[in-house]
Chains A and B, each alone.
Chain A
Amino acid sequence: MDDDRFEDVLRDLPRSYNPPPDAPLDEMWTVVEDAHFNAPISIDRSRPFATRAPWLAAAATLVIGIGIGRYLPSRATAATGSQPTVAASVAPPTADTSAVADAYRDQTNHYLGQAAALLISLPARDAKGKTDSTFASKASDLLVTTRLLIDSPAAAQDVKLRSLLEDLELVLVQIARLRGEKTKGDLDLIHQAVEQGDVISRLNSAVATTQSSE
């Protein structure tokens, strides 16, 4: 075999040596999907969070409810302080609706503020050593509220809020998994997700919006 012939052989190798058939992509994906996506924490949008974890949803509703309950008397007192007693006792039904809306907005505002505080206080990308486990547990707490808010009518009506909540969910899931010594890579990914989604400034802007509408 001369040089030219050998060059031809080399050129023809992609066709002559084990030419691959079409990859059975769907078949392989079924196996990969089954093996991997049975993790305990996953973002599955096919079912609302409230139906996936009803006990957590109930607990979170209770927390929000208590928050609203604690908030309402103080607002009522403030409102009645400058009004005649008779007027307060015969307030029209729309006043209740408005109070609940205010209470909901305040709770959302409070939640957004907590989320922003958590993200701002995260250790830096190059942080070494063990990450404080309080970050993970705080994120877990906020995750429950986030998922409830995503499934709430308020998020359904407010596209920007829903988008922000979904990005927050992603970040909180990652923070909730921050445990143990080796967290540098995880922290990098979290910071990357926060920066790419512009999450902190969107949070601040959402807080400002809810405050200005009060």
Chain B
Amino acid sequence: MQPPNGFPDPRVELFSNHGRDGRYNNRVNESQLIARVIAGDRLAGRTLYDTHAPRVYSLAYRLSGDADKAREFTQDTFIRAFARLSQFRGDAAFSTWLHRIVVTIVSNARRSEIRTSREVALDEASSIEVSTPEAEPDLKECIAKAVENLSEAYRMTLIMHDIEGYTHAEIAGILGVPEGTCKSRLSAARAQLRQDLAAFKE
């Protein structure tokens, strides 16, 4: 059972105990799985990973737009999460805690990319003298460009809410902001997107 946004419900017991494929298949709840991972149980680790990795990967891909990066970000997220599992207090849902990690990893990587691309752009600008005219972009390209042009906070909120289907409460928990901030960011992101797409003619 999963809510529409795909977050596993922390109240739902997960399948546990070993099945034919070597994974867990009896009912054990998530906190027991976490305790088992801390104790070094690989199968519990795989069960926890299988529960959350598809959503983490999906978000990482939406935010990065690159399969290799999404894979790296997802791996990094789980490696860090497993290493810090003993610090997981259970104040928030495990999925929220996990998504905080992936969002931090992606944001840090994007910041570093933007910095590098600015430096490269400056270098290229000094060497390029003649620019070639580009073909008229289609709507999909315009949307992609408009989303990319959003500030990081707006872009992340829009992707999480309008594309990945997270609720405002979940986004607020993951990004560590009040729900109201989340709503106003989404509203501003949509307004800016609309403005950027206004000139588009089909």
Hey, what's the 0/1 contact readout for A163-185 against B, CB within 8 Å counting as 1?
Answer: 00000011001100100001011
Q: Which residues of A contact B (CB under 8 A)?
A: 1, 6, 9-10, 13-14, 16-18, 20-21, 23-25, 27-29, 31-33, 35-37, 39, 41-44, 169-170, 173-174, 177, 182, 184-186, 188-190, 192-193, 196
- Residues of B contacting A170 in the complex (Cβ-Cβ under 8 angstroms): 35-36, 39, 41
CB distance from B114 to the nearest CB of A (A): 17
Number of A-B contacts (CB under 8 A): 128
CB distance from B87 to the nearest CB of A (A): 6
Cβ–Cβ contact B197 & A35, under 8 A: no
Known interface pairs A32-B79, A36-B83, A189-B86; A1-B31 also in contact (CB < 8 Å): no
- Residues of A contacting B70 in the complex (Cβ-Cβ under 8 angstroms): 20
Please name the residue on chain A nearest to B83 by beta carbon.
A36
B157 at the A/B interface (Cβ < 8 Å)?
A: no
Cβ–Cβ contact A6 & B197, under 8 A: yes
Known interface pairs A17-B147, A17-B163, A32-B78; A24-B40 also in contact (CB < 8 Å): no
Interface locus among B52-60, B125-133, B166-174, B175-183: B52-60
The complex places the Cα of A174 from the Cα of B37 at a distance, in Å, of 11
Cβ–Cβ contact A20 & B61, under 8 A: yes
Q: Which 3 A-B pairs have the closest CB atoms?
A: A42-B40, A20-B61, A23-B57
Query: Which of these, A21, A33, A43, A185, contacts B89 with CB under 8 Å?
Result: A185
The complex places the Cα of A192 from the Cα of B32 at a distance, in Å, of 8
Cβ–Cβ contact B62 & A29, under 8 A: no
- Residues of B contacting A37 in the complex (Cβ-Cβ under 8 angstroms): 40, 42, 45
Tell me whether chain A's interface is mostly helix, strand or loop, or mixed. helix
In this complex, the interface size class of chain B, counting residues with CB under 8 Å from chain A, is: 35 or more
Known interface pairs A9-B143, A20-B57, A28-B71; A188-B90 also in contact (CB < 8 Å): yes
- Residues of B contacting A41 in the complex (Cβ-Cβ under 8 angstroms): 39-40
- Residues of A contacting B89 in the complex (Cβ-Cβ under 8 angstroms): 184-185, 188
Query: Which of these, B39, B49, B88, contacts A174 with CB under 8 Å?
Result: B39
- Residues of B contacting A43 in the complex (Cβ-Cβ under 8 angstroms): 36, 39-41
Please name the residue on chain A nearest to B86 by beta carbon.
A186
Cβ–Cβ contact B198 & A1, under 8 A: yes
CB distance from A9 to the nearest CB of B (A): 6
Cβ–Cβ contact B61 & A21, under 8 A: yes
Please name the residue on chain B nearest to A2 by beta carbon.
B198
Query: Which of these, B38, B65, B82, B164, contacts A189 with CB under 8 Å?
Result: B38
Cβ–Cβ contact B90 & A33, under 8 A: no
Known interface pairs A6-B194, A33-B42; A23-B139 also in contact (CB < 8 Å): no
